[in-house]
Structure 1
Amino acid sequence: MEIKLKKNIVIFSDLDGTALLDNHEFSDRLKNLINRLYEKNIYFVPVTARITKDAVNQQAIYLGLDKHKGIVVANNGSQVYDFSKNKFIIDKHISKELLKKIFDMTYGKIGEYKVHYFAGDTCYVYGFGENSNYWAKVMNVDYKIINKFEDIEKNVSHMTFILNEEYAEKNKEKFLEEFDFLLDQIDIIKYTNRVYELASKNVNKGSIVIEILNYLGLDKNETTTFAFGDGYNDIPLLKSVDYPIALENSIDELKEIAFAITKSNNEDGVAHFIEKEILKEK
């Protein structure tokens, strides 16, 4: 395995199942490593599906990106925040008109699928769910059950459709066809065989790579890019960098496109690879 490092280096990394341990915390090893990266002018950019409040005001702070004047990506690319200027450089939302169409088509489809709407600090749901409520608590965001469209009071960055397991086996293709009218305005991204994300058109984890390089004024020909991930929504990210790195706990589809496979998230795979292959520490 030979890696050719150029003048500039930017490292992109998913969080859950990748940079984060299974207890939803960063290891001290990774936090200390990020300090060393910024001392060498190497950017470490978290790229997560997590909601804006959590990604920007919590996870990025835990990593010290505020003091390093770094960049963090929330909602799989819908929001990108720059701590050096304390502003969003990308801030995209799904239009109210489109949300209304989706709500009218999906509300009340009990037993077929669940729909979750993610705003800056709020998760809107049609009914209580143990898993969705768990993640709202993990991210420390509001969890609101709605029964009419007007209850969605805040701008929505992305949504997830969770198909009932039995419904998914029998009706997955029908489900996708039912919503294909959205495809000229929105992207439907596969997470698992029964979980799909809806986000603004052409916005995903991969789309932000070149946008961030351009924003930072970095010439792609003089910049080496790395990306770490473990799941389906990380595929566009890994395909957009020079060196895509999968974790041992990654899905097979990600391992197939990876330049290298590092240790699992619980074994600090991200930190291990950076130390050995980027910083060349023994």
Structure 2
Amino acid sequence: MAIKLVTVDIDGTLLTNKREITPQVFEAIQAAKAAGVKIVLATGRPIIGVENLLQDLQLKDPGDLVITFNGGLVLDTATGQEIIKETLPYDDYLDIELLSRKLGVHFHAITKEGIYTANRDIGKYTVHEATLVNMPVFYRTPEEMTDKEIIKTMMIDEPALLDAAIAKIPQEFYERFTIVKSTPFYLEIIPKAVSKGEALLHLAETLGLSKEETMAIGDEENDRAMLEVSGNPVVMANGNPELKKIAKYITKSNEESGVAHAIREWVLN
């Protein structure tokens, strides 16, 4: 059965290590679009952090879609219409923020407008995230966050420190939230109903597509949900070894235009 919807992770998948789109990837995506295949970027980034990529890849035409915040916000890229929007209740934010303090790791919350942290010593990975996604950083106490529509929270710190903190997270939090590690220094904590997988399922249903007509391409744990629900899960050669166990296909690395190889080999062939 022909593949008609492809969700593509960004960092470590679509982009090279220098955060560039290779000509081969650009050309493969244009060829897929011309063949009527819907290409949907699926990322933990906020929408502002992916706008330039949507422009560069010509994915802002009527009907084009994007999955942001790991599924917390899904948009029509041409109109800005919100297809899915899931926010974190203020009381949940308070619980996660307090837990981060108890665990001794840096923490921030993200809305459509910016990154908010109650850490007076703003962590270097908060600064890194702000630079990566082109968002401003604001210092706000937890009490000043009551009016914010929080879509994602993140514990961010040195890998060893973060891993030690993760080992101490109470099971209750895993039952209440979706918790995924997207890089060695990022732990993302989002509403329980939110994942790239749920977003993929919603889009497939809306478009009237079967599981077999979908493909997901990723490299890290925050891609697991969409890989598990897709009929054609593709993991990058540079991907997490645990994810490769659930892959139908292993493509080339992000440095070798692996997304282009996957599209041409298993979508357009």
TM-score between the two structures when normalised by the length of structure 1: 0.84
Cα distance in 1 for partners of 2:163, 2:173 equals 22
SS where residue 149 of structure 1 aligns? helix
Aligned to 1:46: 41
Q: Of residues 46, 60, 65 in structure 2, which corresponds to 1:66?
A: 60
Residue in 2 that maps onto 1:186: 177
Q: Which moved more, 1:156-165 or 1:223-232?
A: 156-165
Structure 1, residues 96-146: CA drift from partner, whole Å, max 9, x if none? Answer: 222133334444x5x821112111131123232333212311221112233
The sequence identity of aligned pairs, in percent, is 24
Bigger Cα displacement from structure 2, 200-209 vs 20-29: 20-29
Of 78, 83, 92, the match for 1:89: 83
Residues 224, 147 of structure 1: CA spacing in aligned structure 2 closer, same or farther, 3 A cutoff? same
CA distance in 2, matches of 1:18, 1:171: 27
Tell whether the 8 Å contact from 2:105 to 2:165 is kept in structure 1 after alignment: no
> How has the CA–CA distance of structure 1 residues 166 and 42 changed in structure 2, closer, same or farther, with 3 Å as cutoff?
closer
Tell me by how many angstroms 1:63 deviates.
1.6
> How far 1:81 moved relative to its partner?
0.5
Report the aligned-residue RMSD: 2.4
Q: Residue 220 of structure 1 is aligned with which of 196, 202, 210?
A: 210
Pick from 173, 176, 191: which aligns with 2:169? 176
Aligned to 2:69: 75
Name the counterpart of 1:238. Answer: 227
Please say if residues 100 and 155 of structure 2, whose CA atoms lie closer than 8 Å, have aligned partners that are also in contact.
no
Tell me the distance in 2 between the aligned counterparts of 1:67 and 1:203: 26
* Structure 1 residue corresponding to 2:11, chosen from 2, 9, 16: 16
SS in 2 for 1:206: helix
TM-score by length of 2: 0.88
Partner of 1:229: 218
Q: Which segments of 5 or more consecutive residues in structure 1 lack a partner in the other structure?
A: none
Q: Deviations over 1:162-183 (max 9, x none)?
A: 355555565543x221xx4445
* CA displacement at 1:238 relative to structure 2: 0.8
Task: Check conservation: 2:204, 2:214, Cα contact below 8 A.
Answer: no
Residue of structure 1 equivalent to 2:110? 118
1:36–1:188 distance in 2 versus 1, CA, 3 Å = same
2: CA distance between counterparts of 1:149 and 1:20?
38
The separation in 2 between residues aligned to 1:152 and 1:17, in whole angstroms, is 35
Other-structure match for 1:27: 22
Q: Greater shift after overlay, 93-102 or 143-152?
A: 143-152
Structure exhibiting the larger radius of gyration computed from Cα positions: 1
When residues 200 and 148 of structure 1 are mapped into structure 2, their CA distance, relative to the original with a 3 A threshold, is closer
- CA shift, 1:24, in A, is 1.6
1:197 is aligned with what amino acid? E
1:109-148 counterparts in 2 under 5 A? 109=102, 112-125=104-117, 126=119, 127-148=121-142
Counterpart of 2:187 in structure 1 is 196
**In 1, Cα distance between equivalents of 2:158 and 2:77:** 40
The letter of the residue matching 2:228 is K
* Inter-partner Cα distance in structure 2 for 1:51 and 1:22: 20
Gaps of 5+ in 2: none
Cα deviation, residue 27, structure 1: 2.0
Q: Which among 15, 32, 51 is matched to residue 37 of structure 1?
A: 32
- Per the TM alignment, residue 78 of structure 1 is displaced from its structure 2 partner at its CA by 0.3
